[in-house]
Structure 1
């Protein structure tokens, strides 16, 4: 049997490579097609424009290595290993299939995170081989990041990063059948900013025909107001000494824009509260075109109500933000710090009573829990409430990392992909993460992608059932009770 496999896409023929899957499942092998361009390189006159579909090519195009990424330079040590790949053609898809000759297989499309300014699909953790093992075709997509992807420019299309998502999803609709997938059975999923991306798409009228289910892991919505986006864009132009136009920004090279962006978005301990209140300054903006209103308003209006949604967060997403200063924080009054992080008036006492486990880890532990709850876990309940009777399943990832001692940001991703044998696992999860838990998390995700049901009760009402991923796994009524004081402060 040859190591290589070829498939015809709408733009031309591509060559991928067979590899084995791991574990036990229906499919013993997986074919990887890496770096297939869905758009022309966003450089030169295309840099600040909507993506242009890739022109057809002749012959067979090798799809054997990851293509260029929008993330530039060495990202340093990150929780998820997401390397940068140099090059201009940054708008690509990676397709993993158990059998290109199959028909009607369900499809998972993954959107990576990174705060809308970083991240890369070229990660070993996003390899779809074990979703392939279980009969799911998997696609990971790239998109423009930071100012190039989301910055306001006076005469440029808005939300260029979103337009990249949409064109990639159009590519899936047009081409996935050639890889054995069913374009009418597409689930979009992502983590952190990627989780926010799929929630953004769920609330976007213009995206509804492109997917059929949503799995949002630690979703971080941006919903930058039009006014804030414009203010940021004008400020960046002024800092660069150019007009806030395509011509002005085009006179600045990529490195200069990234440097200006980095300086304008620098975060310090004193700015955490403002980020919680206002959100990220770069990301999907309410432009009146793609996002006609904030996402939560769209969900309340019933947009995406026909799409099943699984959504959740880890118990201590950002507690690690305080780990390095834990000893110093012992001398800071808890009330002072928690109020700086936006503790609602009257909520202090009931919140502390409901979060004794975090309180026992000291000031850093409870501060991290509050930051987590305000940025992620209250949003889970809010969005479930916004969707009303639409089919929604909630989970918590609670298994404590063997490295951190709590369930931190990104910890659930390798369980979702069933890749605990992947690189850089010990720094995130410790030396012996439980494979049995990965089996269960991954099986639930596979079930949802195949059937629209992850296998635990749908969340109903304000105190519905929540799946708690821990050892052992459990289903808990009112599983997000510990955040209730932040939503219902007692005076």
Structure 2
């Protein structure tokens, strides 16, 4: 293990760096390797194309440019923006192994609501998966309107095409890093989990991976007519034609500044109501060409049924947002608050009955739980049931462990446990100063078991509908973890 590690990819050689050299946990990192050319100039708003090949050894010891252009501030996961045009790149973390080792591979797709997020987060470092003989890849993709906006004359779902191009890069190159292209699991959290479900439901992506791990998945499934209307609204704000030429005439910074205005620009409780009424503002479009149908419908029809899936959510993904509600609103009865979004009286009453313990915590807690169930937890049940109808192997989990700093089992809390990264930057902000390593051992161990062997270690959903592994609570295996969402289905 002398000298910098060099790997020859299909595009050219890259030089990485060793970590923990000379120890049993030694691994190598290769950062910022382009899987596609920079999407600028004539390639702006175009489908990704392969990068120009190179012959000299390319330095891959620092993260590449990100689609994230600014630090959004206050995010739960540290996700740094890195300037530059070559934003379509991968990061590969691999054990110190020889070519041809054929280790299983986890490809990670970051979250951020399809508008933010960065593959350069220290939370996504794959060294602990490397310790357990799993090659790990994180990939980038175009965000917001650049990646998902409807433009007359441009391909739809450019961000989805980026995911596919990244996975194609893995198929061509991962063997050189000790990985097995025939044992690829895709994983992601939040919008990244939604990306996983979108890819799992797409006929065009089936040959690129062999298993799926969807954590707190947030699906967009934006109807084409809605996406078109949002694109036209943004064009109107920018005072341009809603065409490829029109949007190319506007700087990236102007689009980034104005894209929130095209979908209301909501924050706080407005964000919650927007998620309920309109869904995510940007994300995969059901265009009938690449994304043929809403994900759950395609999964029910058997797309991706040959691939195992693990999915789940935390108990209170977004409840902490409702904590910041004005005091006057927090004393409004939860029945009154939910009346505007759950208009069916019978459904509303059934949902409130099923959530009596949460209702006892106050109106803000109840509204936060409803948004969590509406966006995340009911989706877990819909997907699990769709897959059961297709006779597809599916495992469900729930995280109930409560953040000592946020007061809830909140959004993003599970990520450092899955990655066994409790010692990483800013984890204590979310998980407290002494998060339980035993929980990380359980969750990371389940992920490793799934990636390496195709099963996480508890009974599948179809053994008895409702079966889930509860992390952080008792009993560990239950059939009732998601019962409180059933009224919404």
**Range class of TM-score, shorter chain:** over 0.9
Q: Is the 8 A contact 1:462 1:478 kept in 2?
A: no
- 1:481 maps to 483
**Structure 1's 293 and 80: CA in aligned 2 closer, same or farther, altered over 3 A?**
same
Distance of 1:279 and 1:209 partners within structure 2: 30
Q: TM-score, normalised by structure 1?
A: 0.95
Most deviating of 60-69 and 471-480: 471-480
| Structure 1 CA distance for aligned equivalents of residues 341 and 471 of structure 2 | 27
Partner of 1:2: 2
Contact between 2:342 and 2:348, CA under 8 Å: does it hold in 1?
no
CA separation in 2, counterparts of 1:307 and 1:381? 18
Rounded Cα–Cα distance in structure 2 between residues aligned with 1:415 and 1:365: 24
1:344 is displaced (CA, Å) by 4.3
Q: Contact 1:197–1:221 at 8 Å: present in 2 too?
A: yes
Question: Within 2, Cα distance between the matches of 1:34 and 1:343?
Answer: 50
1:93 corresponds to 2:95: no
Regions of 4+ moved over 6 Å: none
Corresponding residue for 1:358? 358
Give per-residue Cα distances to partners, 1:165-206, cap 9 Å, x unaligned: 000000000000000000000000000000000000000000
Q: Could you give the per-residue CA deviations for residues 430-466 of structure 1, whole angstroms, max 9, x where no partner exists?
A: 1111011001100000000001100000002773310
Partner of 1:282: 282
Aligned to 1:62: 59
Provide the C-alpha distance between the structure 2 equivalents of 1:450 and 1:213, rounded to a whole number of angstroms: 10
Match of 2:188 in 1: 190
How far does residue 59 in structure 1 lie from its aligned partner after superposition?
Answer: 1.0
Residue 463 of structure 1 contacts residue 478 of structure 1 at CA under 8 Å; is this kept in 2?
no
Whether the 8 Å CA contact 1:341–1:370 is kept in 2: the answer is no
What is residue 418 of structure 2 aligned with on the other side? 416
Q: Equivalent residue of 1:403, what SS?
A: coil
Counterpart for residue 371 of structure 1 = 371
* Cα deviation 1:250-273 (Å, max 9, x = unaligned): 110011011110222311435633
Secondary structure in structure 2 of the residue aligned to 1:377: helix
Deviation of 1:358 (Å): 1.9
Query: Structure 1, residues 358-387: CA drift from partner, whole Å, max 9, x if none?
Result: 223211111111110011101100011111
**Aligned equivalent of 1:126:** 124
Stretch deviating more after TM superposition (295-304 or 170-179): 295-304
SS at match of 2:163: helix
Single out whichever of 292-301 and 123-132 deviates more from structure 2. Answer: 292-301
Q: Please report how far the alpha carbon of residue 232 of structure 1 lies from its aligned counterpart in structure 2 after TM superposition.
A: 0.8
- Given that 1:385 and 1:461 are in contact with CA atoms closer than 8 Å, whether structure 2 keeps it comes out as no
Q: Is the 8 A contact 1:233 1:244 kept in 2?
A: yes
State the SS of the aligned residue for 1:4. Answer: coil
Describe the superposition over 1:314-338 as per-residue Cα deviations: whole angstroms up to 9, x where unpaired.
0000001111126333321211112
Partner of 1:272: 272
1:29 aligns with 2:31: no
Q: Which runs of 5+ in 2 are unaligned?
A: none
Give the aligned length. 484
Match of 1:52 in 2: 49
Aligned twin of 1:202 = 200
How far residue 343 of structure 1 moved from its aligned partner, in angstroms, is 6.2
Residues 100-119 of structure 1: pairs in structure 2 closer than 5 A? 100-102=97-99, 103-119=101-117
The residue number in structure 2 matching 1:465 is 467
User: Mapping of 1:227-238 within 5 angstroms?
Assistant: 227-238=225-236
Please, which runs of 5 or more residues in structure 1 have no aligned partner?
none
Q: Which moved more, 1:326-335 or 1:411-420?
A: 326-335
CA offsets per residue over residues 58-111 of structure 1, 9 Å max, x none?
110000000100000222121000000001100000000003415110000000
C-alpha separation in 2, matches of 1:472 and 1:382? 24
- Structure 2 distance, partners of 1:27, 1:450, is 19
Partner of 1:74: 71
The farther-off stretch of 418-427 and 260-269 is: 260-269
Whether the aligned pair in 1 keeps the contact of 2:464 and 2:479 (CA below 8 Å) is no
Contact 1:7–1:14 (8 Å) recurs in 2: yes
Larger mean Cα displacement after TM superposition, 190-199 or 465-474:
465-474
Query: Aligned partners of 1:135, 1:271: CA distance in 2, in Å?
Result: 41
Q: Which residue does 1:19 correspond to in 2? A: 19
The aligned residue for residue 449 of structure 1 is 451
Q: Which moved more, 1:455-464 or 1:100-109?
A: 455-464
Conserved? CA contact 1:13–1:61, under 8 Å: yes
Relative distance call for 1:135 and 1:27 in structure 2 (3 A) is farther
Secondary structure class of the residue paired with 1:325? coil
